[in-house]
Structure 1
């Protein structure tokens, strides 16, 4: 039969209408009369639409070999490889198409998906962003947002999917949107979408596992357990993600041996480096609770090695401490202390300290006071700093420039929370400890609350914690590197605090847990406030408001205050090199601790 007997347009219309088998017969009939590249392509598309991706790949591979100058064959082949779960082959196919100078939504989207599946999200981002610009629809928005989440650009990802309506999406697209919602902290929307998806497909164990991970993250443990107890999970396919979800819930319920067993099972499945790192960090927590220090340190070494491999494969450069060079060399000028009359809210309270020093606990306590509202680890100050960099410009900045930067700061805060003139902002971001010159210039009436903790405990806790892609993981990849980071940051604080005249209240984590009410009363007095009714419910306040605790210590904040973490480093004393202890000893002495 000749090609003219059938219409390609009609075939494509039938294909779009879900009649792939009919299109296959039509194309096969035409091709019995001889080779026709257009109809061969239609045949390949019909095979793929029926889930016969291996057959489709074989056909497109033959077409690419027969007509190497036609890049569309490489695109179709790349898409077939993606469906087959062969991302490296897909990547090679799209790269070959790129050499032909091809562009367009289909090419950019497919190439971006292949790169993302190969664990190269930064390279994928370039193509997926281009696809989204060329065709801003759900097909391009969701993969682009997923890529941004992999790069921990959560706010940008949330903006990309903001206009999508779940009711207008396919089931697969709704699954992707639920995942993006969960990653970007849109917890209520994510929960509603997961529940709707599971009502339609109750036996999707993989969806229940994803849902359980979200529920645990927002401290809804009983609901997470319900999802993991469903037969589709209990008797479903083993996966590293299922092991992670079950382990986290078991650890939260203090079933530590069960948690470590789940994690070891997940690691035996050979997950990718990023997931290997997550599982080993979690395994270290389970072993820590069992007081098996040797296994803790073994798991952490594996975790950091896997994280380093993941970062390198993703071509993600880790930030060093170069920004500490932005420092005052002389005391801040007297004119910096003049308050601004620009109708902005009262200057914030900045809650700072070295990471893992207990700032999240203190932030949640202060946030429960009706006269305070906390901005939980959102780098709003960085937007203002960008306008005033470097410090050399900061000293010379005109009043109008500073006022403009202040407005940028408050506009950024307003995107995260309502501004109430009767409520003072608590901006909790631990490493704003290294932003003192900017705080002094922008907010002359700001107050600092500084939380200290034994340097060895800070360093150990940072080494035990995964800080993610953008969290400066390289700075904490060993105890020695973590100690060097601590020394650089705290030396900066010790130097710069004497060059700005901002009122600061300094307290120690160990004193806070030993005399909780007394230390909180002293912080409140420093802020000109008294203890308020309801502050005792700080552990549940955010959950009652449906808000997420954004930091890695989300699970610790909802637990009663205890002293377990104080002096924990002594159990690991054998793993601290003499050089590490020598690095930390001067700071320990200055803050009233010992390293003996």
Structure 2
């Protein structure tokens, strides 16, 4: 590095550099950029000017120029841990996760005590689904910098999503202790307690927010949500007003409120904004939107009558193990409602959206080609996969060994052929809802996004996904003698007892009055799907044929959905 002289008369770049640093620290980034560039005209090998120029450009939202400046700084002085951290952030933001990973690791190799790198690295690891490692690095960041609010909030959120609620609360509260005006912690605590059905705790958080951050967007949002839950829709709308914000949570709440207030045009506009903002999120951008459609296409073209007839014979049924029952369908078609109804029955255990079949598929992928290798599976291999399936389910917290085991996961519809290969005697409960309502509801809901649910951020992709899934399901129905009970959401909400009696009979258990109190079961059971707020309410019909209110907005996708509307016997 070419040093700058301490004597301004000998080195005219020195005062320019100091002034540029001062400008950067005071937020005058445009002046800072000009200043550092002037220094570099005089001293091109001054690494600190390149580093600071990179920081100033980053603050001015010029990531490519910032990267160039950082790279030039590293060419001069390659041992700058903070620069590698900054580059890691840029590449993470640009969805180049492999390069970001490399830079964060290099930063920590040079300086393992950089709290900011540990926090940024943890966020990347979270996006890579490496949650245990992410937790470790968040905790390291906090150990190095106990008042690091961003890391405290990040760790709290990670623990909450891992069902470690008490530990999550501890970190959110620690964050609020550091900064009583920390909006993120108030919102996270209120949302977590709402999820846990702890109304008193939500009210407590609201009171604290009203005291410490009165009039803030977060305080108004929590208050509006509480008003909505009390049925005070106009009051909730008034609270949120017309705030100009890019807060996805506020737009989502507004959308729900306008929907409940029979203002579909305004509601749809809000959900468009919600999904557009969600697509900008770094965690969402890290997901390849084309993976799931490609998977569905692969399954469709692999599962043919010619291929299936050449399968090796399955093993005989295991008399010691009852074949599972699967609740399938398309998301937002009533699968969570059926889950709660069946969970209320004393003889039934329902596994709620555990990623077990994905793990079984991963085991098959270890011996490619998959799924082509399904055709040549030997008896002992099928038995091993059956054992792995049940062992995985038993490993989850809350597993209960009851007479009937039900595996509820609407995304397993695409695995129908695989399920039949492993469990030829399996029963299938297929949850059906008007295609327009299912697609609209997915578009209007927020999910924990993955390769499948990322489709729902765009209406046309949602409709195409529905068509692909249903094509595959109908193909499975043609290829295999599946034991299926189809149940319509619209019928359940209008003829509860008749539909549930028929469902229980199919599953093989007698009627029990406990199923009438399914909403209480849902409050006891921590429902983790997008439907958790609805299934803890008494049965309602307001979502039945809701799509008709949004028909003009659905017009672009009606041609895609019309074949399934007719195939399933619904009215257009």
TM-score under structure 2 length normalisation: 0.79
Residue 98 in structure 1 maps to residue 71 in structure 2:
yes
Mapped to 1, the partners of 2:399 and 2:275 lie a distance apart of 40
Mapped to 2, the partners of 1:309 and 1:394 lie a distance apart of 39
Mapped to 2, the partners of 1:347 and 1:130 lie a distance apart of 48
Q: Residue 225 of structure 1 is aligned with which of 200, 203, 209?
A: 203
Residue 391 in structure 1 maps to residue 371 in structure 2:
yes
Residue 292 in structure 1 maps to residue 263 in structure 2:
yes
For 1:157-306, what aligned pairs fall within 5 Å after superposition?
Answer: 157-162=131-136, 164=139, 170-172=146-148, 173-199=151-177, 201-230=179-208, 235-236=213-214, 238-239=216-217, 241=218, 244-266=221-243, 268-269=244-245, 271=246, 275-276=247-248, 278-306=249-277
Contact 2:416 2:476 in 1 (8 A): yes
Mapped to 2, the partners of 1:475 and 1:441 lie a distance apart of 28
Mapped to 2, the partners of 1:104 and 1:414 lie a distance apart of 48
Contact 2:353 2:409 in 1 (8 A): yes
How many pairs were matched up? Answer: 547
Measured at CA, do residues 581 and 529 of structure 1 come closer, stay the same or move farther in structure 2, by a change above 3 Å?
A: same
The C-alpha deviation readout for 1:146-179, integer Å capped at 9, x for no partner, is 3455x4x5x5234421583877761214333223
The C-alpha deviation readout for 1:80-138, integer Å capped at 9, x for no partner, is 777xxx2635774444323545477533322223455xx53x23664246525855776
Measured at CA, do residues 359 and 68 of structure 1 come closer, stay the same or move farther in structure 2, by a change above 3 Å?
A: farther
Mapped to 1, the partners of 2:542 and 2:359 lie a distance apart of 38
For 1:158-557, what aligned pairs fall within 5 Å after superposition?
Answer: 158-162=132-136, 164=139, 170-172=146-148, 173-199=151-177, 201-230=179-208, 235-236=213-214, 238-239=216-217, 241=218, 244-266=221-243, 268-269=244-245, 271=246, 275-276=247-248, 278-307=249-278, 314=285, 316-319=287-290, 321-325=293-297, 326-327=299-300, 328-330=303-305, 331=308, 336-339=313-316, 346-388=322-364, 390-406=370-386, 408-410=388-390, 412-414=392-394, 416-417=396-397, 420-422=400-402, 424-467=404-447, 469-470=449-450, 472=452, 475-476=455-456, 481-531=461-511, 534-541=514-521, 543-544=523-524, 547=526, 549-557=527-535
- Report deviation, 1:450: 0.9
Partner of 2:466: helix, strand, or coil?
helix
Partner of 2:478: helix, strand, or coil?
coil
- Report deviation, 1:366: 2.3
- Report deviation, 1:511: 1.6
Measured at CA, do residues 79 and 404 of structure 1 come closer, stay the same or move farther in structure 2, by a change above 3 Å?
A: farther
For 1:10-49, what aligned pairs fall within 5 Å after superposition?
Answer: none
Measured at CA, do residues 65 and 533 of structure 1 come closer, stay the same or move farther in structure 2, by a change above 3 Å?
A: farther
- Report deviation, 1:473: 6.0
Q: Which runs of 5+ in 2 are unaligned?
A: none
Give 1:572's aligned residue: 550
Contact 2:13 2:42 in 1 (8 A): no
Contact 1:158 1:184 in 2 (8 A): no
Contact 2:284 2:454 in 1 (8 A): no
Contact 1:216 1:248 in 2 (8 A): no
Contact 2:341 2:518 in 1 (8 A): yes
Partner of 1:497: helix, strand, or coil?
helix
Measured at CA, do residues 156 and 525 of structure 1 come closer, stay the same or move farther in structure 2, by a change above 3 Å?
A: farther
- Report deviation, 1:362: 1.2
Q: Root-mean-square deviation (CA), in Å?
A: 4.4
Mapped to 1, the partners of 2:461 and 2:161 lie a distance apart of 29
The C-alpha deviation readout for 1:448-493, integer Å capped at 9, x for no partner, is 1111112222122223224465365674466555444323321221
Mapped to 2, the partners of 1:503 and 1:103 lie a distance apart of 64
Mapped to 2, the partners of 1:391 and 1:251 lie a distance apart of 47
Mapped to 2, the partners of 1:292 and 1:103 lie a distance apart of 58
Measured at CA, do residues 231 and 383 of structure 1 come closer, stay the same or move farther in structure 2, by a change above 3 Å?
A: closer
Contact 2:57 2:63 in 1 (8 A): yes
The C-alpha deviation readout for 1:13-58, integer Å capped at 9, x for no partner, is xxxxxxxxxxxxxxx99879987999x99x99x999xx87879978
Q: Residue 127 of structure 1 is aligned with which of 76, 100, 106?
A: 100
Mean Cα displacement is larger for which, 204-213 or 553-562?
204-213
Partner of 1:171: helix, strand, or coil?
coil
Mean Cα displacement is larger for which, 362-371 or 351-360?
362-371
Contact 1:355 1:430 in 2 (8 A): yes
- Report deviation, 1:358: 0.8
- Report deviation, 1:369: 3.6
Measured at CA, do residues 259 and 593 of structure 1 come closer, stay the same or move farther in structure 2, by a change above 3 Å?
A: same
Mapped to 2, the partners of 1:302 and 1:568 lie a distance apart of 20
